[in-house]
A and B are shown apart, each in its own frame.
Chain A
Amino acid sequence: MRQSRTTANAFVGLCALLLCASPASARVRKNGPARQEAGHVHGRHAGERQAGERFKRTAAAYEPPDVTLLDMSGARVGLGPLLEYDGPVLLQFIFTTCPTICPVMSSTFSAAQSKLGADAARVRMVSISIDPEQDTPERLREYARKFKAGPQWLFLTGDLDRVVAVQKAFDAYSGNKMRHEPLTFMRAAPGKPWVRLDGLLSATQLVAEYRRLASQ
């Protein structure tokens, strides 16, 4: 049997070797800087973690850029006016080939549609694709059908750089779509601060957060 000596140096050496063994070792992890940024985000959004809950609530004043995106019909829409909607807005970042968290996030929106009751008609729900080159308006339509989206639920895609700018404005950019985190944003009315919910929610929790927002 080989003897395994656990010296820190040898371990570091092995790590270095593994990372450099490949000729492509100069590979850029594009999200290097973004990770730092995300670190700050965590610092900034110390927020309140609800007892027994798995999500964290923070209030923030985001300034989303007024960029032009595409809706499900392929029409150009200004994000500025869209978010200036005179009523509550709920917003998520998703992508349609996302395997794990997006289907759950979208299911939460989907279930909330009925749980919101009469309020559902007043609310504007927005899902913005963070993989816009893949998520053409046609693919978004298919996705919306799958999650039984009502007319108040809008799906947006568009130029990648613009979508990145929107994510950055919401402190939601992670540099790599597979690393994106489950976030839901909501605000009560134009000019009011945004509430950031960090983590996956049940439909009841989402609706409770909405009522909390509306009652303030």
Chain B
Amino acid sequence: MNTHGTRVLSLLAALCAAVLANAQSPSARPDARLGERIYREGILPDGRAVRASVQGDIEVEGTQLNCAGCHRRSGFGSSEGAAFVPPVTGAALYGAREQNGADLFRRLFQEVQPARFRARVREPRPRPAYTDEGLAAALREGRDPSGRSLDPLMPRYRLGEEDARHLAAYLKTLSAAPAPGVTRTEIHFATVVAEGVEPEKRRAMLEVMSAYFRRKNAGTRHLQQRSGLAGPYQDDFFAASRQWVLHVWELKGAPETWLAQLDALYRAAPVFALLGGVAGGDWRPMHAFCERAEVPCLFPNTDDPVVSPQGFYTLYLSRGLTVEAEALARHLREEGGPARVVQVYREEGGGLVLARAFRRALQERGAADLRERVVRAGQKLTHGFWESLLEEERPAVLVLWLGGEDLRTLGPFGDRAQTVRRLFASSTLLGEGSQLPPEGLREKLYLTYPFALPRAEEPHAYRVRSWLRSRGVGGTREERLQLNTYFALSVADYALMRLAGNFFRDYFVESVEQETESTTNPGVFPRLSLGPGQRFASKGCYIVRPSAVARGGLEAASEWLVP
């Protein structure tokens, strides 16, 4: 063959190779994003759910059981009901298995699990590092690189070669990048204080924070000074401890500008997480920031959280005003009987949130005879306003989503208020120490109350209170805020301890989900607990009524309602 022919042939061959490679490349190259979908949702690149068998003979779909369910979004695994689920991050799989002393200590002595779990944790089960092929075999056949069978709880997935490669590519990125806000010696947190917050609230919250940080850091210094004294795990503990540094992020001006301010503050000094925080209005800008920057935000002091769609990184104490409105709707429904309900609210702030949630909750459960009276911004309520409302609407149930100032304009109405069987208001919107409506209506007044009922003794609150007083934190009428802030800090503290030096934010959020239920509840809410994917720690609300004899001036008129 002449040289020309050879050249043509080789050109042709190169062309063919290029065409072939091109045709294959979109599917052949491992794609971590496709792997992420398999991992988190159990959905294959072609949109079908991955299929698997578990416990030997149970056929399941990826929508019922997927990787993230047990190994969690962080890839650090989980522990539940004697089941130990090992980490599957790239670092864990593609390295030989080794024990982290701090992590082992935590699992053995701090994890609340049955004896079987501890026996499993003590079993080191060494194995060589995984390869991509070895991982595919483990996923499909349930065999690890040492040839040992994986627990029957681990599903055997029917994954194609390519799907396994996508998944492997994703696992290599999982919890691989160190989280901003953590250095070798320090971990940085921020707390938000928005403009317009009463100085008393600001002071109450920040005093608790600085006392907690001081005490925490003194403990860490003490631990570090003991270095060299304390046995084989000591280096691990030392490596996992950090000085806590607090940044107070003061937001100024209109709420529409807060998101940009948060971005700028974060760029200037990145933090690992936001703790507590206080703002007058809704928490939307902070929520948006945290979800976008993937910064955990733990238990801010707000009555107006973002309820829907819920985020991943923002965790709240309660659904606040929304749970009040929904609990009332449920209460009225359970009492039964058709009755005209009239709700009165200002077209702004908390009143609007309550009115929307109440309307939605009533409508969801079928027909309700609901009428509405909207008070415009700046409009003063007068005796005439109420008289015409009573005259025209003749309500059986009057729901007043108004503040104390507005409620003072009520009555006296004499016989005209006769149709009104009951009067409801929000304890949150009303504020404490508000004046009660006049006689003829006062006996009919009920409040939505999303907190624990005032009790004779609250041992946990007592203990937190004495902790605070002994560290020079003064008393305040904002005690709820102090107790809630203390709770946020202690949950963060335990959740961090559980990470054993693995400072990844998804893992932190998962740890918070786990620790919230076991951390002492200082008593503002009857119960505080989370679970995987849960974002509101307290879930219900009471209906109460004023009482001259009951403690705290309130007595329950309903059980704890979880709408």
Query: Which residues of A does B touch, CB under 8 Å?
Result: 2-7, 10-11, 13-15, 17-18, 21-24, 26-31, 35, 38, 42, 54, 95, 97-101, 103-104, 106-108, 110-111, 131-134, 136, 146-147, 159-160, 174-182, 200-204
For the complex, is B82 an interface residue (Cβ under 8 Å from A)? Answer: yes
Query: Given A181-B114, A203-B57 in contact, is the A101-B533 Cβ separation under 8 Å?
Result: no
For the complex, is B467 an interface residue (Cβ under 8 Å from A)? Answer: yes
Count the B residues whose beta carbon is within 8 Å of the partner chain — how many? 72
Closest residue of A by beta carbon distance from B559: A159
Closest residue of A by beta carbon distance from B490: A24
> Out of B57, B486, B494, B531, which one reaches A131, CB within 8 Å?
B531
Contacts of B518 on A, CB cut-off 8 Å? 27, 29-31, 176
Query: Given A27-B490, A27-B494 in contact, is the A180-B81 Cβ separation under 8 Å?
Result: yes
Beyond A3-B228, A103-B65, A108-B58, 10 additional pairs, beta carbon < 8 A: A4-B232, A13-B230, A14-B237, A18-B105, A22-B494, A22-B497, A27-B518, A95-B531, A182-B81, A182-B83
Q: Are B226 and A14 in contact (CB under 8 A)?
A: yes
Q: How far is the CA of A177 from the CA of B518 in the complex (A)?
A: 10
Q: Are B232 and A6 in contact (CB under 8 A)?
A: yes
Q: How far is the CA of A28 from the CA of B460 in the complex (A)?
A: 9
Chain B residues 102-160 with CB under 8 Å of chain A are: 105, 109, 112-115, 152-153
Q: How far is the CA of A23 from the CA of B70 in the complex (A)?
A: 32
Q: How far is the CA of A2 from the CA of B233 in the complex (A)?
A: 12
Distance of A47 from chain B, by nearest CB (Å)? 14
Q: How far is the CA of A162 from the CA of B150 in the complex (A)?
A: 38
Give a binary string over B209-236; 1 marks a CB under 8 Å from any A CB, 0 the rest. Answer: 0001001100110110011111111110
Closest residue of B by beta carbon distance from A11: B231
Q: Are B114 and A104 in contact (CB under 8 A)?
A: no
Q: Are B80 and A100 in contact (CB under 8 A)?
A: yes
> Out of A100, A111, A202, which one reaches B69, CB within 8 Å?
A100
Query: Which residues of B does A touch, CB under 8 Å?
Result: 54-60, 63-65, 69-70, 72, 78-83, 85, 105, 109, 112-115, 152-153, 212, 215-216, 219-220, 222-223, 226-235, 237, 460, 463, 467, 486, 489-490, 493-494, 497, 514, 517-520, 527, 529, 531-534, 539-540, 559-560, 562-563
Contacts of A179 on B, CB cut-off 8 Å? 80-81, 112-114
Q: Are A4 and B55 in contact (CB under 8 A)?
A: no
Contacts of B219 on A, CB cut-off 8 Å? 21-23
Distance of B51 from chain A, by nearest CB (Å)? 12
Q: How far is the CA of A21 from the CA of B115 in the complex (A)?
A: 26
Q: Are B216 and A23 in contact (CB under 8 A)?
A: yes
Q: Are A146 and B63 in contact (CB under 8 A)?
A: yes
Q: How far is the CA of A133 from the CA of B227 in the complex (A)?
A: 45
Q: Could you pull out 17 A-B pairs where Cβ atoms are within 8 angstroms? A: A17-B223, A17-B226, A18-B223, A24-B494, A26-B463, A42-B114, A97-B532, A101-B81, A107-B55, A132-B562, A133-B539, A146-B64, A178-B80, A180-B81, A200-B55, A201-B55, A203-B55
Q: How far is the CA of A201 from the CA of B233 in the complex (A)?
A: 37
Q: Are B235 and A4 in contact (CB under 8 A)?
A: yes
